[in-house]
Amino acid sequence: MLLRHTPETLVERSALTVNPAKTCQPVGAMYAALGIHKCMPHSHGSQGCCAYHRSALTRHYKDPIMATTSSFTEGASVFGGQANILEAFANIFNLYDPDIVAVHTTCLSETIGDDLPQIINKAITENKIPPGKTVIAASTPSFKGSHITGYSNMVSAMIKYFARNTGKKNGCVNLIPTFIEPSDMAEIKHIAESMGAKYIMFPDTSDVVNGPMDGKFRMYPKGGATKEEIASSGDSILTIGLGRTGTLEPAKLLDTHCKVPAEIIDLPIGITATDEFVDLIRKTAGVSVPEEILLERGQLVDVLCDMNQYTYGKKASLVGDPDILVGLVRLCREAGMEILHVVSGTKAGPKFERKIKELAGEKTIVKTGAQADMFYFHQLVKNDKPDLILGNTYCKYIARDMDIPLVRTGFPIYDRVGHSYFPIVGYRGGLRLLEKILDALMDRIDRDASEEKVELVM
Amino acid sequence: MSEVEMMTPGEVFKAEVLEKYPPKLAKKRGRQIVVNEAAGGEVPEILANSRTAPGILTMRGCSYAGCKGVVLGPTRDVLQITHGPIGCGFYSWLTRRNQTKPHTAEAVNFMPYAMSTDLQEDEIIFGGEKKLKAAIDEAIALFHPKAIGIFSTCPVGLIGDDVHAVAREMEAKYPDVNIFGFSCEGYKGVSQSAGHHVANNKVFTDVVGLDDTPKQGKFRFNILGEYNIGGDAFEIERIVGKCGMTLHSTFSGNSTYEEFISAHTVDLNTVMCHRSINYLAEMMEKKYGIPWFKINFIGADSTAKSLRKIAEFFGDGELTKRTEEAIAEEMEKVEAVRKEIYERCKGKKAMLFVGGSRAHHYQDLLGEIGIETIAAGYEFAHRDDYEGRKVLPSIVVDADSRNIEELTVTADEKRYQPRISEAEKAKREKEGFAFSDYDGMMKQMKDKTLVIDDLNHYETEKLIEMYKPDLVCAGIKEKYVVQKQGVPMKQLHSYDYQGPYAGFEGAINFYKEIDRIVNSNAFRLAKAPWADSPELSASYGYTG
Ligand code: SF4
Ligand code: SF4
């Protein structure tokens, strides 16, 4: 029993977080910044934060994650980090030659109160930033929000620094995805592309953190949204935010900043959520849904119906990031599953709770925020045991102790591969997710069946 | 002959790299990149434990990581609360894979739990002590620990929360629980190393020495600086037991609070990772009279050597005999595998850039299968780890080290008892037995090899380009940077989730693993067959 000290009895806690179901802002900001072409993420604080964030992303993506740090020591912590970041700019541009440096703060620089926009302005006026190069900054203190907030803040910074309304519409729809896998970003592009819609997507980490191995290291892989694309997003006809928690703020900002109206929809996981996305693109771009997409949709529905008996009535408990959770709940419900628990360390507000209850029913226990941690999640699961857990790698301890199948979803996934290459969004992603759920449930049946009950065909 | 042609490859590398840096940085890196020369046993001076230049892609982490992650992390029954925002605690949650084996299914094991005060904006503004106290209340009610460690993160230091005062106050409230705090804010010092020091100080003042009951068994000693990555400590304990000795405690792999508080009852401390823990060995010698020496259980020959040295220390005929028998028996198994693998690996070239001692220790192991180390360095070492302890008096303490408390230690009135008389010690030393010593990495490395402190990404890329090594050993952040270039990379922090690599079984595991890596077909597939051939002009399609 790895989690032998987790009691069944639930006790209210107000101060202690145990086994968090969230992590800190900068890791999300760093990930978002990797979705800009030729961009070096930079962490303003002591080097430990940066080391942790790079390690976490590296373990999850199993790919190089490059990011620099201001390397504060005690002096910078007392006198402020201006000297450090100016020195950092010189070294970064000299050694790594990025087009863009995307700075995010840490708890440390936030607590000191370093004013980054002002420091950057100073650097510009003093010619410390080479011509043609850009520095953008996002404030990402981790004593507010989570990695999702950090992601959202960095996407907002992209808009603030780059997006411009030139007065001439470009006929594009902006796609802003929430914190999802590079494979998911690629799948969203695939849908927009096969529908023939003109689009701008940012950030876009596909081909950046799931790069090929061909004997060459590239500091800046070919993927990522370009500065020009992000600039042009101010001239688009509509912004579609995919996943409310991660995209509401940036989408709103683009509206106030450049007058591009925004629609926030659920992350397209499952059939109906993907339908909504496809339909919105269809209407906005004035295109019809092509055969290819219909085929993908049909295949997912086909498997869903064919295999319904294995998912129907099965109970699932979910822990993770709010936007992904909404999508997962939608797919699970489409498969006829019951949702027992939905937990997220990221505070998602009453709208989220209402949404989950609408989808899953009033009985589902939903909790987000500070004490919504995996310790609490485990206690819930002990009190009402599900057939399946959906959550990140850390769930394996719970799954093992309680002998419940686990389908790894969300961040981080340290102990399996596939998430960087195969999506869970869109119809094709739905098919993969469904396959994973079925594998888990059916392996269970196979393993638990008495000898006379083992079925060859299922 | 031009000057360039006369330069060794190491010098060429150094010159090329430094050229790219601005003058001030070039000057500093010039002192951190050294072409080794052990002429007459004297090695050149290297600059170490100095700040990393801002903006440089560094391998380093912070003191919190060194304190909570490395030194205290592997102790299963000390409940550890990170005081700070959520991230710091999250990242140190199980990622260093310190394996631990409680004796029963019910025994205490807090390792799979990450606890944090998850500070919010209000607490950053108004102070977080109140929340910390409440968190301790909740932790005690839920987990009933014997001991609690509180770990400070950067913002906590800045807002001025006094974790030590909180610890004292809460200890008064819960007299049965030993509560202690660590000022290991990430900005302290220049790397993880500062955190090791902070950790050792507190373990020494608040934990070691609380219980005078020795463990059962003969020839009892501690291993300091062995963190049980991949089960190394399990293997070491097996061998030590086979020789008839008793491993009292491992600081801090597979460790428990009970073993720590009675650790001063042993007769000998052995030091595995010199960097992370030499402080504790020194202080225990002063306070309790326990002598220490450096050992190394990485590599079969090194393991045998270390076992012999420990047995020699105890000077017991029966022990020596059993130790020799155990070594002979183990070595036979090792040799069989080693010989075969040597043939496939000899002549290959490796580079090692790891935290502390591993960049040194693993050179022995690689050498056993004929792999030569052409460049090595540490992430967070001090000069003594490179040049040997004899340079200790000449190390200049800078501002970054000065803010880490240096304890003044005196002999314990009741418990000080020299395990070996001054005269006996002097006699043995004269015979060549080294106490309280470490020669450092450079003395053992070949002439003309490169020794680089605080290696950064730019230099890593250059090294690989110039030397085309067969194997690179470093950490997770470096792994895929190296592998994308088609060069296999072995993580020595986490062992790529394999191991153990210590001791005899470990040596066998490592030989096999390195054989797999350097002779793996997979890496040869990185380049497509057409990658190097020029565009074909002819067309092979049907033309008629
Ligand atoms: S100090 Fe803040 S930014 Fe740094 S790791 Fe901790 S929570 Fe994250
Ligand atoms: S051996 Fe290496 S990984 Fe271990 S503590 Fe020492 S430095 Fe760290």
Q: For ligand 2, atom 7, which residue shows the shortest CA distance?
A: B356
Rounded CA-CA distance A230/B357 in Å is 47
Mean per-residue pLDDT for B468-478? 97
Domains of chain B, earliest start first: 63-189 (3.40.50.1980)
pLDDT at B5 over 80: no
Task: Quote the distance between the C-alpha of residue A455 and its chain's center.
Answer: 39
Would you state the pLDDT for residue B6?
81
Domain ranges (residues) in chain A: 2-16+296-451, 25-144, 173-209+218-294
pLDDT at B533 over 50: yes
CA of B155 to the centre of ligand 1 (A): 9
**Sheet with A39-44, edge to edge strand ranges:** A68-69, A39-44, A100-105, A134-138
pLDDT at B269 over 70: yes
- Find residues 461-480 of chain B whose CB sits inside 8 Å of chain A: 461, 475-477, 479-480
Distances (CA, A) of A447 to A397, A403, A436, B212: 20, 12, 16, 52
Residues A332/A312, Cβ–Cβ less than 8 Å: no
Q: Dig out the tokens for B108 from the structure.
A: 């205490």
Q: Closest-CA residue in chain B for A85?
A: B54
Which ligand sits nearest to residue B378's alpha carbon? 2
**pLDDT tens-digit series, residues A86-124:** 999 999 999 999 999 999 999 999 999 999 999 999 999
Distance from CA of B86 to the nearest CA of A (A): 6
pLDDT-derived band at B544, boundaries 50, 70, 90: very low
Topology of the domain covering A2-16+296-451: Rossmann fold (3.40.50)
**pLDDT tens-digit series, residues B277-318:** 999 999 999 999 999 999 999 999 999 999 999 999 999 999
Residues 6+ apart with CB under 8 A from B295: B223, B270, B271, B272, B306, B309, B310
Would you state the pLDDT for residue B539?
59
Rounded CA-CA distance B465/B459 in Å is 10
Query: Which of A8, A10, A58, A71 is best to mutate for the B interface (most B CBs within 10 A)?
Result: A71
Would you state the pLDDT for residue A5?
97
pLDDT at B75 over 60: yes
Q: Do A52 and B61 touch (CB under 8 A)?
A: yes
Residues B143/B110, Cβ–Cβ less than 8 Å: yes
Which ligand sits nearest to residue B64's alpha carbon? 1
Residues A67/A104, Cβ–Cβ less than 8 Å: no
Angle between helices A349-360 and A322-334 (to 10 degrees): 10
Mean per-residue pLDDT for B17-33? 96
What is the percent of chain A with per-residue pLDDT over 70, rounded to a whole number? 100
Nearest CB partner across the interface for B115, out of A16, A22, A217: A16
Please confirm, yes or no, whether B88 is among the known catalytic residues: no
Fold match, A2-16+296-451 / A173-209+218-294: yes
Angle between helices B476-483 and B457-467 (to 10 degrees): 40
Q: Do A20 and B81 touch (CB under 8 A)?
A: no
Please confirm, yes or no, whether B103 is among the known catalytic residues: no
Instruction: Give the strand pairing for A17-18 and B115-116.
Output: antiparallel
Write out the H or E segment, with its range, that includes residue B502. none
Would you state the pLDDT for residue B531?
80
Reported pTM: 0.97
Topology of the domain covering A173-209+218-294: Rossmann fold (3.40.50)
Rounded CA-CA distance B207/B209 in Å is 6
Positions in chain A short of pLDDT 70: none
pLDDT at B341 over 70: yes
Q: Which CATH number fits domain A25-144: 3.30.2270.10, 3.20.190.10, 3.40.50.1980, 3.40.710.10?
A: 3.40.50.1980
Instruction: Give the strand pairing for B33-35 and B450-452.
Output: antiparallel
Does B397 contact A at CB distance below 8 Å?
Answer: no
Check B31, B51, B96, B428 and give the catalytic one: B96
Rounded CA-CA distance A109/B397 in Å is 26
More confident residue, B4 or B136: B136
pLDDT at B543 over 80: no
pLDDT-derived band at B540, boundaries 50, 70, 90: low
Write out the H or E segment, with its range, that includes residue A291. helix A291-306
Q: Dig out the tokens for B501 from the structure.
A: 């690599």
Would you state the pLDDT for residue B541?
59
Query: Within chain A, how many helices (H) and strands (E) appear?
Result: 18, 14
What stretches of B272-369 show up as alpha helix (H) in DSSP? 274-288, 300-314, 317-345, 358-368
What is the percent of chain B with per-residue pLDDT over 70, rounded to a whole number? 97
Dihedrals phi, psi of B340, to nearest 5 degrees = -65, -45
Please report, as a single letter, which amino acid is at residue A208: V
Nearest CB partner across the interface for B22, out of A48, A94, A215: A94
**pLDDT tens-digit series, residues B369-389:** 999 999 999 999 999 999 999
Rounded CA-CA distance B490/B139 in Å is 38
Rounded CA-CA distance A192/A175 in Å is 9
Distances (CA, A) of A412 to A151, A330, A392, B95: 15, 21, 6, 12
Average pLDDT, chain B: 95
Q: Dig out the tokens for A280 from the structure.
A: 């919105």
Would you state the pLDDT for residue B63?
96
Q: Which residue in B229, B283, B278, B193 sits closest to B97, CA to CA?
A: B229
Helix, strand, or coil (residue A96): helix
Mean per-residue pLDDT for B45-71? 96
CA dihedral A11, A15, A16, A21 (to 10 degrees): 90
